[in-house]
Structure 1
Amino acid sequence: MTDGDPEYDTDFRDRPEAYEIGRSEEGVFKVQPYKDELLPLWTFKTPEEAEESADAILEKYEEYRADGEFPGMDIARKYLQMGYTRAMRYAKYPGGTKYVDGEERDPQQWADPEKREAALRFEERLESVREDEAYQRATEAHRER
């Protein structure tokens, strides 16, 4: 699959040096083979599904860490982050709709308490990755390359 973006044509397991860390959740739908491995695990419909999803993504993160695959580690972190941010959007905005007619709506406390619970399941795993010294070292080493 390609849309003119070289990320779609690169296997980052084979070419980890080509991976750029990027901002926020950038790359989660592009960086292969990690997208294909992580996207099917990602859901935040209910707190229970979010917990299973976050655990499965964290398990993949740990596999990538054991294999020294920094791009996989970083993309797994981004899926955890995206689980948190997307679920929190639904928690604060009815139907997850932040903008109406181009204007940002005021967030509600809590428009969907179940989605807030789902978000917190992702946040817990996200923090464990961010605090992981192996992740911090791998990030620094990747940036130095």
Structure 2
Amino acid sequence: MLRSFDYTLDYAHLDLRKHPELYRIGRGEQGVLLVEPYKSEMLPHWRFKTPELARASSDKIYAMFLGYKAAGDFVGMDMARKFLQMGYTRARRYANHPGGRKYSKEDGTVLPYGLDPLKAEAAAIFKAKWNLAKSDEDYLRMKREHQARWESGHDTK
């Protein structure tokens, strides 16, 4: 059975580049703002406010994805994939809801939908790079290997 993202680890003091065996992929963007040193490497480049910022940001993070790939660093690749996914989902939320808030603070109801075409364009830019990352053949192979080795409960080394 595959394990979900482990929120119990002390991520502030854990270097998952040195300990990839502790990394659990989880679902979607789980752990994207926890896993070091990757969070600190990518977060300064993560921007989605305008299409221009989204393009520069997604290009940089995708280049980092390719760098991690060249280094054989699956955890880095997966974290870059998560940052690209998060760029898409956050830009999309801001595209759909002014101020980025989907639910009312007062009663929790869904706030009115209002399309911001610039944020929608930023979301599309991130989505294109996210699609490249998540469909990369090497990424998919390394993901299967990581899951088989570390997330199945059996070390195959």
TM-score, normalised via structure 2 length: 0.86
Counterpart of 2:86 in structure 1 is 82
Gapped runs of 5+ residues in structure 2? 1-7, 150-157
CA deviation profile, 1:90-110 (whole Å, cap 9, x unmatched): 0001111100131122433x1
Alpha-carbon separation, structure 2, partners of 1:55 and 1:107: 29
Q: CA RMSD in A?
A: 1.4
Give me the identity figure in percent.
49
**1:36 paired to 2:40:** yes
Which of 77, 97, 110 is the matching residue for 1:104? Answer: 110
* Matches for 1:47-62 after TM superposition, within 5 Å: 47-62=51-66
Look up the match of 2:14: 10
> Which of 93, 96, 99 is 1:92 aligned to?
96
Residue identity matched to 2:108: G
Match of 1:71?
Answer: 75
Deviations 1:29-77 (A, max 9, x none): 1100000000001000100010000000000000000001111000000
Unaligned runs of 5+ in 1: none
Q: CA deviation at 1:123?
A: 0.3
Name the counterpart of 1:21.
Answer: 25
Alignment match of 2:144 (pick from 129, 140, 143): 140
User: Aligned partner of 1:42: which letter?
Assistant: W
1:128 is aligned, of 109, 129, 132, to: 132
Q: TM-score, normalised by structure 1?
A: 0.93
**Does the residue aligned with 2:24 lie in a helix, a strand or coil?**
coil
- How many residues are aligned here? 141
Q: CA deviation at 1:7?
A: 2.5
CA distance in structure 2 between the aligned counterparts of 1:87 and 1:72, rounded to whole angstroms: 22
